[in-house]
Each structure stands twice: as structure tokens, then as C-alpha cells.
Amino acid sequence: MTSSSGKRLNKFISESGFCSRREADKLIEQNRVKINGKIPELGTKVQPGDQVEVDGKTIKPSAANKSDRTYIAYNKPIGIICSTESRVKGNIIDAIGHPQRIFPIGRLDKPSEGLIFLTSDGDIVNKILRAENAHDKEYIVTVDKPLSERFVERMSRGVPILGTVTKPCKVNIVSRFVFRIILTQGLNRQIRRMCEYLGYEVTKLKRTRIMSVELGNLKPGQWRNLSAKEMDEINRAVAGSTKTATSKNGTNPTQKKAKEAETKRPRRPTRAKESSRTPRPKSSPAPRAPKKTNRS
């Protein structure tokens, strides 16, 4: 089962629509996945006829032509949380109530609103999210004080946050307190942190476009299926993308885990090296006192 044939386990799970490939890696690392009733070894591939389960639930293989996949655009209202956990109050899955198992591509903070994609196709998630692909995301942002040309210049050039400097981006002023920004990154709370660094506080943030897909007339809380034309454009845009998220050294999470396990393998105990210190010279015995003799 560990031969070169077959399909990678994380790919099999993500293509089924159960979760994204990144989430599949986590499930595998947590030993929550079984193949034919057994926890698989690292690198095991799924062969035709194998039964794959996650937490006891059977994962069915996806249709080869992706005809069973769902892709939707959703106008996330303020207060909805981009989580798939049912225990999280106000999670995005319960808010949409879609009949199929779907999950968000990326996220929007709870106090933010606007366009977000959701899908049952785990294979496309990381393709869209990878910053290296330079996929545009456009936002309309309102701040707490009047904007200036210096603000626009600094935001456009890049701002130091989270131990790095943000990539150059497009920024233009819409009105006294409102600006438009187009990012190709997705750092945690990026726009809010950038504004905060420059002394501004975001009071409203709305995403209006992802790649070629516009929010349009979708009202908060509404969703629609992405059209065939929109999906064609998205697939063309991500055609050359790496499917799996990678770290700076080029390894995906599962590969990184394997490498860490290898380096943590216990080593044989080594014999202690002999001390290089110069041995302390033995002290010579103290001279004996001469014996007393009786004089006659």
C-alpha cells in the first residue's frame, strides 16, 4: 500500500469534499484517519478499493469530472465567524445552511463583512490562498480620522507587521475617511494591523472582490453559486499553482512532520569522552622524623 501507485491520502480526503488538504494533513497527524480499519503509516497512498474513514465516517471518492463539487459566493455579514466548528456560535456553515458539506476559502474577521468563497472542493482551496499567485482581493475600508497622501504612500509601499513587511499594494482614497485597497496577501488581520501601525483605527471593512468575482448586488447573508464563466476564469488563474501549502523550506505540513519525527529519533548513547584535563600530580609523602636514639 506504500507503493508509488495510488493517490496521496490528504489529496483523496480533500477531493472528496470532506475538508481542505491542509485540514486533511492535520487529521492524519492526529491519527484520526484510517485506511481499511488501520491507522496508515506516513506516506501511505490510497489504492482502488481501499476504505478510508475519518473519525469512523467513511470518505467516498470524488467524481473524476468534479461534477459533484459546490462553489459559492457569500456576502458574510458582520458577526459571522469563518469557522466550520458547529460548537462555535454564529459559525459560517450554520449561517448559510447549505445542504452539502462546504468550507470557506480563506476567512474574514468577525467584525468584517463582504465576499468570501465556500466550496466542497478541497483541492482548489490552497491554490487560491497562496500569496505567491498574486490573486487580487479588493476592500473598501473606513477609518476613524481623515486620510492623507502620506497614509496612502506608506500603505502602498508596505508596512512592518507580524515580523515582516507587507507586500506593495494598490491604495486610493474614496472619500475623507474611506479608502480602497487591493491586496495579494492574506496576513492575519492585515489591513487593521497596517492601519493601526500608521495611527488609524478601522471602523468598517468590506471585501468587494476576489480575483474577477465581484460582490455585486448580493445582500448581507445571501449567497449564490459561482457561474461557469467565473469558475473557468478562476481555474485558469490558478492553473499553475501548487496545490499544497508549503513552508519556506518547501515542505508541506505532513512532510515537515515526518522530517521532525526523523530528527527526534533517539540516538545511541555515546561513551563519555575522557577528560582532557591534566591529571593532578600525586603528592609525595611527608618526610619521616628521624628516630630518637638513646645516648649513653
CA-to-CA dists, residue 93 to 23, 56, 85, 118, 220, angstroms: 16, 22, 8, 9, 15
Burial 69-99 (b: 16+ CB within 10 A, else e): bbbbbbbbbeebbbbbeeeeeebbbebbeee
Task: Tell me if residue 94 is catalytic.
Answer: no
Catalytic residue among 25, 109, 121, 232: 109
Amino acid (one-letter) located at 126? N
CA-to-CA dists, residue 195 to 145, 149, 160, 273, angstroms: 11, 14, 11, 58
For cell 469557522, what's the residue? 83
Please tell me the distance from the alpha carbon of residue 21 to that of residue 19, in angstroms, as a whole number: 7
Active site residues: 109
